[in-house]
A and B are shown apart, each in its own frame.
Chain A
Amino acid sequence: EAGVAQSPRYKIIEKRQSVAFWCNPISGHATLYWYQQILGQGPKLLIQFQNNGVVDDSQLPKDRFSAERLKGVDSTLKIQPAKLEDSAVYLCASSLETDTGELFFGEGSRLTVL
């Protein structure tokens, strides 16, 4: 069974530039999550989708971050404009059911903002 796919694995940009990350969840998983993991910290949930709809985006900085999940499958997370403090690993995860806490993570996309 294919796992969660993310791209790109690494991205270096200058502040005020924009960047987009892509995620393809495990086939059949209705729930998709984007987490931000800053160095030395645990992953923090940015946004959670259930199929096409947003379940929780309370910690998403909406002035610069946006995410969409078209057709309930792939998802894209965008940052525009980027700030230095956005340097982090962006983790995508998916789950078959929402309530179990059993998430399957991709390898992450490491963003460096200079």
Chain B
Amino acid sequence: GDSVTQMEGPVTLSEEAFLTINCTYTATGYPSLFWYVQYPGEGLQLLLKATKADDKGSNKGFEATYRKETTSFHLEKGSVQVSDSAVYFCALKDTGFQKLVFGTGTRLLVSP
């Protein structure tokens, strides 16, 4: 079945460091890919998405590129801020299925 694998956390960075959170997926069709973020005390919210191969999703300085050849959708940000501290979830939605499948989440901690 469809699945998403994320790197384990926590990822601990200093402010202004470069961020990469790895995400790979397994799907039978041509899925759409998503990154959701959960800030402390808040619900999950959509950060960015990509619907087809080679698409790049971007939002709030974060980017992720849909790589079909490596079945990956890694999240990147050039310079993280303390306010980016949160849990990040990679997710996919396969064609023909309505279910959104989530990875286990990666906690990011950014220190000043």
Contact = CB atoms under 8 A, between A and B. Distances in A.
Interface SS majority for chain A: loop
Contact of B104 (A42, A102, A107): A42
A41 B104 contact: yes
Contacts, number: 51
Interface in A16-46: 33, 40-45
A36 to B, nearest CB: 11
Contacts of B43: 3-4, 91, 104-108
Interface residues of B, number: 20
Contact of B46 (A48, A55, A102): A102
B22 interface: no
Interface in A57-114: 91, 93, 98-108
Given A91-B43, A105-B45, A42 B34 contact: no
10 contacts: A42-B89, A42-B91, A42-B103, A55-B98, A91-B44, A99-B98, A101-B49, A102-B46, A104-B43, A104-B45
Given A41-B105, A103-B46, 12 more contacts: A3-B43, A4-B43, A41-B104, A42-B4, A42-B102, A43-B89, A44-B102, A56-B98, A56-B99, A103-B100, A105-B44, A107-B41
